[in-house]
Amino acid sequence: MPIPLLALAISAFAIGTTEFVIMGLLPDVANNLAVSLPSAGLLVSGYALGVAVGAPLLAVVTSRMPRKFALQLLMGVFIVGNVLCAVAPSYGLLMVARVVTSFAHGSFFGIGAVVAASLVPQEKRASAIALMFTGLTLANVLGVPFGTFIGQQFGWRVAFWIVSGLGVLSLAGVTALVPNRHDTGPVGLGHEVRVLKEPQVWLALAMTVLGFGGVFVVFTYIAPILEQVSGFTPRGVTLMLVLFGVGLTVGNTIGGKLADRSLMPSLMGILAALAIVMAVFAHTSHTQIVAAVTVFIWGIAAFATVPPLQMRVVEKAAAAPNLASTLNIGAFNVGNAAGAWLGGLTIGHGYGLDTLPWVAAAVAVAALMLTWIAARIDAPATIVPRRVKAG
């Protein structure tokens, strides 16, 4: 694999870290800025909605730029956003900084995937794209736990300064290693927009929103759940996030293999497993050892949904896969925002933190039902030929 892929993987690592590290720092941010825990949780929703809005917007803005320049511009936005997060004196300004940072997210992954594929022969393009996205997976295994630990020890602002440094390293890597090919990016935007007329595309996007939205009902508040319900120390929470990240890595591999074999049946099975694991976690969250086991299995089930959900959208938008891929990243983040909002709404109405896994299980069941409906629409009508009697 060409070395420019390393620069793209480091960039994906930085972006993934800044997106998810806030979960482990929510109690510290809430205390420091004198806001409630549900209000701090909206920082997750703000970032996710920024990705959902910014991804298609920046896809249009950067569509005629050379891809390398577009990647450099997006990493510049990422660096500025994280510096603003580190120095934000109030909750409102921190929210604005998170949204600014999020604007680089969706478009970078969309353009980065195209660049990664262009660096290798056709038979290795999927592997190249997967290698770039390994940075995102490793962000959950290494970046988020490390950022949470640093934030708890030295203050949450230090975590964002470190992520800003990762952004500078990523920008330097893209500048030095990514070839300066003067392609202008995707053309025929009007043709790609027409894919939105297909009902199955919207149904696939809705499956993504619900399929991953339930995960964030719990993940947004995973730090207070593990501390207040399970009884883990802040350092124990960090270790649990590492365990969860390992589960994500395993689940990503399993989900991809299952989707290659049988897309819709596999997706329905994964969503059913996710709902069951969440319902189980409502009980096991009260005991540390079984909570740890459940969190690991939950990580597997959670990220096993990603490859089939991504494949489903691209499959149903074959005429415009670039835009569909970008929109699906937005759909994932709409689900993230909705899940975080739903979790905050549940807590705000006086329900305990141990109620959140039940809400997540209900969202997973809704995604399962929607997937079943989509599969039924796919199934061709079976026509039974009438027998004609001889004579």
Rounded CA separation 36/334 (Å): 22
pLDDT, tens only, 239-293? 898 899 889 888 877 887 787 778 899 999 999 999 999 999 999 999 999 999 9
Rounded CA separation 27/140 (Å): 19
Highest mean pLDDT: which of 25-39, 77-91, 247-261, 299-313?
Answer: 77-91
**Distances, alpha carbon 146 to alpha carbons 38, 149, 151, 242, 313, in Å:** 24, 5, 8, 9, 33
Helix axes 4-33, 144-154, angle to 10 degrees: 40
Q: What is the residue whose two structure tokens read 């890595």?
A: 249
Short-list 120, 96, 88, CA closest to 8 = 120
What are the residues whose beta carbons fall under 8 Å from the beta carbon of 360, sequence distance 6 or more?
A: 214, 215, 217, 218, 278, 339
Cβ(108)–Cβ(197) below 8 Å: no
pLDDT, tens only, 147-198? 888 888 898 999 999 999 999 999 999 999 988 764 544 445 666 677 777 8
Average pLDDT, the chain: 84
Short-list 243, 8, 18, 306, CA closest to 134 = 8
Fold of the 188-377 domain = Growth Hormone; Chain: A; (1.20.1250)
Res 130: pLDDT: 67
Q: What is the residue whose two structure tokens read 């450099």?
A: 72
What is the pTM (predicted TM-score) of this model? 0.74
Is pLDDT at 382 greater than 60 in this prediction?
no
Both tokens of 117, joined, read 């594929």
Both tokens of 13, joined, read 């690592």
Taking every pair of Cα atoms in the chain, the longest distance, rounded to a whole number of angstroms, is 92
Domain limits, CATH 1.20.1250.20, in the chain: 1-187, 188-377
At the top level of CATH, the class of 1-187 is mainly alpha
